[in-house]
Amino acid sequence: KNEVEQSPQNLTAQEGEFITINCSYSVGISALHWLQQHPGGGIVSLFMLSSGKKKHGRLIATINIQEKHSSLHITASHPRDSAVYICAVSPYNNNDMRFGAGTRLTVKP
Amino acid sequence: DSGVTQTPKHLITATGQRVTLRCSPRSGDLSVYWYQQSLDQGLQFLIQYYNGEERAKGNILERFSAQQFPDLHSELNLSSLELGDSALYFCASSEGLAGEETQYFGPGTRLLVL
């Protein structure tokens, strides 16, 4: 079983819809990262969080350390949000990073 | 633009060959991380260097090696290449050593082994 599980694997939404991507992990962590990978391949770090909630524009990330669960929300989705969203964790006392398989989001106009 | 540069962008080579991928971190960042992204295994951490020293090792094959130079750029050497080594190789950098730091990713090097 993968240490980092994401759901759903694929998600198609209409422009304007509220989107939620979920991430569950099984190891103790010092931080959780949400990454965005566009079709061209480049990876951008969206959030790094170790507790609570962070917001950047239309993106919101939350984490529940006790339940080992994080969510990424996109409000008022737009076609330019179409990308693969990857959840990754930095295990406690370890410098590596463990990745989920990614969620492929397609937002249709 | 993350400030992390990688060269080359694309590389096509044959099985059994050796290649070197290069990464320059953001100005001021001391940590460099290498990752492999293949179609069947997703993103995997390979290795991390901090200020010239190896600090963490992941799923890196013995045929692969890396180093970080005094000017903080890093090179990933892949030898005795196999078809399965075809993948996107990313490097990322961060200011310090800790896992709870934002990492900035380079554009990647796409390696195709024929």
pLDDT (tens place) for every residue of chain A, 109 residues total:
689 999 999 999 999 999 999 999 999 999 999 999 998 789 999 999 999 999 999 999 999 999 999 999 999 999 999 999 999 999 887 778 899 999 999 999 9
Torsions phi, psi for A72 (to 5 deg): -115, 125
Distance CA B94, CA B50 (A): 9
Q: pLDDT tens digit string along A14-40?
A: 999 999 999 999 999 999 999 999 987
For residue A46, the chain B residue with the least C-alpha distance is B102
| From B45, B88, B99, residue closest to A41, measured CB to CB | B88
Strands A29-37 and B104-105: unpaired
Q: CA B57 → CA B27, B49, B50, B110, distances in Å?
A: 24, 9, 12, 22
Residue A15's CB is within 10 A of a number of other CB atoms, namely 13
Question: Cβ of A9 under 8 Å from any chain B Cβ?
Answer: no
What pLDDT is attached to residue A20?
98
pLDDT tier, B17 (very low <50, low <70, confident <90, very high otherwise): very high
For residue A50, the chain B residue with the least C-alpha distance is B100
Which B-chain residues 75-114 have CB contacts (< 8 A) with chain A?
88, 90, 92, 97-105, 107-108, 110
Query: A88, A44 in Cβ contact below 8 A?
Result: no
